[in-house]
Structure 1
Amino acid sequence: MKHLKKITLVLMATLTFSCSKDDDGDTPPEPTYDVYVAGYEDNGNNYVAKLWKNGTPENLSDGSHNAYANSVYVSGADVYVAGFESNGSVSVAKLWKNGIAQDLSDGSHNAYAYSVAVSGDDVYVAGHERNGANNVAKLWKNGIAQDLSDGSHNAYAYSVAVSGDDVYVAGHERNGANNVAKLWKNGTPENLTDGSNAASAYSVAVSGADVYVAGYEYNGADDVAKLWKNSEAQNLSDGSNDAYAYSVYVSGDGAYASGSESNDSTSVAKLWNLPAGEAGSGTSENLTDGANDAYTWSVYVSGDDVYVAGTESNDSTNVAKLWKNGTPQNLTDGENYAEAISVFVAQTVE
């Protein structure tokens, strides 16, 4: 009896303590998230680099010269955006950190930044720069440039991802006849295609030991949207119309890819869902009805929500768009040409 009474008293004390904590409001609140979108909008004279946070725009450039924001990455309280801006004669590769611009190139040759990723204290940017004769694929680490190609043929770096000590870059390089889809790992190139047909790799994502690359390859008649997993190619489209995969995001054991596909008259914004990341297991979703041209450039998954950034024509110009779980949101009013190029979702930092 004494033993039972002791247990009862302990339980009552525990319940009282639990109720007291609830009453005091000590239960941690549910986290909130911010949605960042990078892109650009015409101001009537020039393109202005833009960053939207939860739909609210911020100008990254002053509009005196053309400028473009191509990629956004959030690390803690810091927001990084990669892009480029004209200096009046050539394009200068740029990195904005919390709205403050840093030049990655010296302005002597055209240079472009397309993707940014952060790992610890290191900031990586992928792009390319003209060497006078050809475009050289580039990787900047903390502002220091590394050539990924030797400059003998045109080469482009479109996407960078970091996993542990490994840095992956996706792009393409000309072989003299065609563009060859490429993946660089720590500066060492791998051909994803054999060069017999034109191809490119636009996006790379890494999960554990698996490396995913999105892009396209020509099949002799049309361009086929492709996803490579550990260098093994999977067709996302059937090859009956031109299609392109511009972005890939790994979620769990599967992957999402976004892009576009022609319907013979217009381009339709697409989202592919690949639950296991294996051939034949995926589904595709049209994000637009095909009445007007539309493209998606970036996909990001946060919890159960899938975000896609892109653009759709309104008959007179292009409207920057963000789709959340298939539902579109206009980021611009459609008065001036605009595109949403990259999306990133981050937990709100108080």
Structure 2
Amino acid sequence: MKHIFYAFALLFLVTSCGKDDEASTPLTPEPENPVPQNTAPELADQSFTVAENITDTTVIGTITATDTEEDALTYSLTTNSNDLFVLTETGELSLATGKLLNYDVAQTHTLTIEVTDATNTTTANITITITNSPDVYIVGSEYNGTGTMATLWKNGVATILSDIYSRAYDIAISGEQVYIAGSIENSGLQEATLWKNETAITLSNAGNRAEAKSVSITETGNVYIAGYEHVENYSESYVKVWNENGQLAFATLPSINVTSNNYIGWSGSSSCLYTTGSDVYVTGFERFGNGINRATLWRNGIPEVIEEVNHPNPNSIYPNSVYVSGTNTYVAGSKNEGIPSATLWKNGEKTKLSNSNNIANANSVYVSGNDVYVVGKEWFGTHFVATLWKNDEVIRLTDIADSSTASAVFVLENDVYIVGSIAGKATLWINGEGRALSNATSSHAYGLFVKP
């Protein structure tokens, strides 16, 4: 009897367990190929610091994001700052074409960018901090469709100095006073002109063709302007040095008594005048009817002969620029010894800078420490090339297959500033990197001043 009871009880338990299992919820099986969830790219806020004087060819920085799936990422700029910047799809950030930074207007710029992996998008803020750079003042001319106008570029921004035919050749600055030497046409004749804070002052005599080519300020604040003036229907021409009131500082005359076909002047350099202490130096040339051509340096109006040649070609010698460093006097220009060659005279001792087989001319000289910088142009096969001669090194400033020239050089600390033109466009080079100053049909930069 007991055996029958235990069997019945066991059967009841088995049956009860089976009913409970049937009533429970079955488990959901795992899919064989699960679909992965895409994660958004990770992009943090980033910051960059750049100098005020960068160009639109400078990469400010590269935006970097990460993606778990290592998908291809595309970057875009969603909030700009006055359309100053551009961002490539690969994340390179730079200035928009033709745009410039201005520390005086804004010291920082904040941009919003986004990055996408084609499924998800992430945004971040980019902060660009601007460091102050020296103010670069450049003078020259632009052709505006009706005439050539004297132009001042300050940090790349152009100001037209006159609305009639005019040119600006050189600039000097003392404090907030800006002095520019050049010329304005009046009744068909150019008149030597000084702009003081953009106000024009006529220096030369009415009826004579004249130009102011260079301006310099002494340590005591005296302003001198050098130029030339043709007299008596171009029969003679003289170097003139004026003060800022238009009065003659020195009455420079030929240094030898030859009365026929006397001509004193220079080919147009913006740095033919230099002042140091109370001394005023001017360089130029003298031509005489007997075939004598003379490179001359006037110190306080007294002529000193740099070199004299007897040559039938009146263009046989051209001193263009003078710089005084300590007890050394440097004059740069050209001398024709079969062909015109870029030449530097140091204390009267001549050094040929250019290749003997190439026509060349030196337009400006600047001395910084033990380094001597000379700029000009040298002929290479089919065109002139803007050239820097630094000590014994020859540096071509452009490889563009079109004519170019370098007109003036200025050195501040370790930075070298050069102005001139490429293919008829005013150009500034900073440490060898060139940038166009003008979109005008034709333009040229002749002189510059860099203010810390």
Shorter-chain TM range is: 0.7 to 0.9
State the partner residue of 1:217: 335
- Mapped pair 1:320 → 2:447: no
Structure 1 residue 291, shift from structure 2 partner: 0.6
- Mapped pair 1:268 → 2:410: no
| Paired residue secondary structure (1:195) | strand
State the partner residue of 2:37: none
- CA separation in 1, counterparts of 2:143 and 2:324? 34
Greater alpha carbon shift after TM alignment, 109-118 vs 172-181: 172-181
- CA separation in 1, counterparts of 2:201 and 2:293? 31
Structure 1 residue 270, shift from structure 2 partner: 0.2
State the partner residue of 1:230: 347
Aligned Cα RMSD in Å?
Answer: 1.7
- Could you tell me whether the CA contact under 8 Å between 1:175 and 1:195 is conserved in 2? no
- Mapped pair 1:205 → 2:323: yes
Find 1:296's aligned residue among 395, 402, 406: 406
Structure 1 residue 207, shift from structure 2 partner: 1.1
Structure 1 residue 134, shift from structure 2 partner: 1.2
Count of aligned pairs: 304
- CA separation in 1, counterparts of 2:371 and 2:406? 19
Letter in 1 for 2:192: A
Q: TM-score scaled to structure 1, two decimals?
A: 0.83
Find 1:139's aligned residue among 217, 234, 241: 241
| Paired residue secondary structure (1:81) | strand
Q: Structure 2: give runs of 5+ residues left out of the alignment.
A: 1-130
- CA separation in 2, counterparts of 1:346 and 1:130? 34
- CA separation in 1, counterparts of 2:142 and 2:305? 35
Structure 1 residue 32, shift from structure 2 partner: 4.1
Q: Which has the higher contact order (CA 8 A, sep 6+)?
A: 1
Letter in 1 for 2:276: S
Find 2:189's aligned residue among 66, 77, 90: 90
Structure 1 residue 31, shift from structure 2 partner: 6.8
- CA separation in 2, counterparts of 1:96 and 1:81? 5
Find 1:121's aligned residue among 221, 230, 235: 221
Deviations 1:259-287 (A, max 9, x none): 0000131000000101xxxxxxx101001
Letter in 1 for 2:228: H
- CA separation in 2, counterparts of 1:213 and 1:309? 19
- Mapped pair 1:332 → 2:438: yes
Structure 1 residue 208, shift from structure 2 partner: 1.1
| Paired residue secondary structure (1:240) | coil
Tell me which structure has the larger Cα radius of gyration. 2
- Could you tell me whether the CA contact under 8 Å between 2:307 and 2:348 is conserved in 1? no
Structure 1 residue ranges (4+ consecutive) displaced by more than 6 angstroms after TM superposition: none
- CA separation in 2, counterparts of 1:289 and 1:178? 38
- CA separation in 2, counterparts of 1:321 and 1:180? 32
Structure 1 residue 53, shift from structure 2 partner: 0.4
- CA separation in 2, counterparts of 1:57 and 1:225? 31
- Could you tell me whether the CA contact under 8 Å between 1:179 and 1:200 is conserved in 2? no
State the partner residue of 2:279: 166
Q: Structure 1: give runs of 5+ residues left out of the alignment.
A: 1-29, 275-281
- Mapped pair 1:185 → 2:299: yes
Task: Indicate the percent of aligned positions where both proteins have the same amino acid.
Answer: 37
State the partner residue of 2:420: 310
Deviations 1:301-334 (A, max 9, x none): 0111101100111xxxx1000001110010011x
- Could you tell me whether the CA contact under 8 Å between 2:378 and 2:385 is conserved in 1? yes
Letter in 1 for 2:183: F
- Could you tell me whether the CA contact under 8 Å between 1:242 and 1:262 is conserved in 2? yes
State the partner residue of 1:259: 376
Q: TM-score scaled to structure 2, two decimals?
A: 0.65
- Could you tell me whether the CA contact under 8 Å between 2:179 and 2:197 is conserved in 1? yes
